[in-house]
Every structure is written in C-alpha cells, then in structure tokens.
Amino acid sequence: MEAATPAPPPPPPPPPAASGGYPVDLEVANQGTYNRFLPLIKWLLAFPHYIVLIFVLIGAAVAILISFFATIITGRWPRGLFDFVAGTFRWIYRVYGYVYLLTDRYPPFSLAEDPGYPVRIEIPYPEYVDRWRPLVHWLLILPYALLAALLMQVAGLVAFIGIFVILFTEKLPEGFFNLITNPLRWALRASAYHAWMVTSYPPFEWQE
C-alpha cells in the first residue's frame, strides 16, 4: 500500500508592487480578506511588542549616538550598529502594519529580515557617508518629517474607520490600504534620513 503524498506547503504571499527607485522603502503585500473581528483587538494583542520595543529603542538610540561620532570621524556607519538600527525599524513597522490593519499576521519578535512576512522594509547599507551629514540631517529633514507626521495622523484616522469597514465587509478597500501604507513609507524614509542611514533626500511623492 503506497504512502499518502504529503500536501504541498502553502504558497508564499504575493510579491508587493515596486514602489519607486528610492533606496529606503516599505513594501506590503495586500492579503485581500481579513478576519472580521481581529481589528477590534489588534492594539491589545500588540501590547507585548510595545513593552519590548521600549528597550529595543533605547538600544537603538545609543547605537545612533555612537554612530554620530563614528561617522564624523570615519565617514562610515559602523555596520553592526547600522544593522541593529535597521532591524529596529523593521520591527517597529511590522507592528505598525499589524495595528494599522495592513496584515492580520502577528509580527515576529525579531530584528531579522523575514521574507515571508507581508510587511517588509528595505534600508541598504551606505558604504560611505559624508562626515558633515550627522550634523545637519536633523534640520534638512524637517519639512518632510512634518508632512510625514501629518500623514501619519491621516493614516491613524483611516485605520480607525477601516476597523468598521472590515467588520462589515472583511475587506480593506485599496484606497484605505494606500492611505495607510504611504504615510508609513514616508515616516520610515524620514526616520532613515534623519539618522543619515541614507544620503539622498526622500521624494515628495504619493505612490499607488
């Protein structure tokens, strides 16, 4: 008697659409159908992440402070510190994506890249950073960061309305999805530029 053939593994999430040529990017695979009632409690389920991220953010702040002097002296972001800060951003934006309704998959407690998770960020390591950049990036980014902060308020409002849309339809309209994803992308790019992790200024563009 032949053994039963094992079921094939589930397919990976569909690849997200490309979102321009800027090196720092946020990509989100749209899951389509949502759990009807999960959005009501996501903010509560994510509470353990909030606690752990307090300590992770303290570590990231120390890493950025050390890299401030290292970059001014050597013109390079220390690679280990860069990877830690990038991993912190990765963790934060997975939690954002979960709480802001972009995915129902619970985010991992990890700084590492997870190709199978539907919320992914890209921050390539810069081989060289001009030594003056840590001194002025905080000032140069202000116009973009202020607009990004305003857009994040819009994203929060859209996510709140989206809770009730999903409750009745099990769907998040594409317009809602973009109104949440783009502000998160802007906020990520503002943070990365502020920390001189990227040297090109983020674009004032809205992506569909």
Q: How many angstroms separate the CA atoms of 120 and 97, rounded?
A: 9
CA angle 69, 72, 76 (to 5 degrees): 95
pLDDT under 50: residue ranges of the chain: 1-19
Whether pTM exceeds 0.75:
yes
Tokens of 46: 């994510």
Contacts of 42 (CB under 8 A, 6+ apart): 98, 99, 101
Q: What is the pLDDT of residue 20?
A: 57
- The neighbour count for residue 70, using CB atoms within 10 Å, is 17
Strand blocks (E) in 67-177: 119-122
Span 142-173, pLDDT tens digits: 999 999 999 999 999 999 999 999 999 999 99
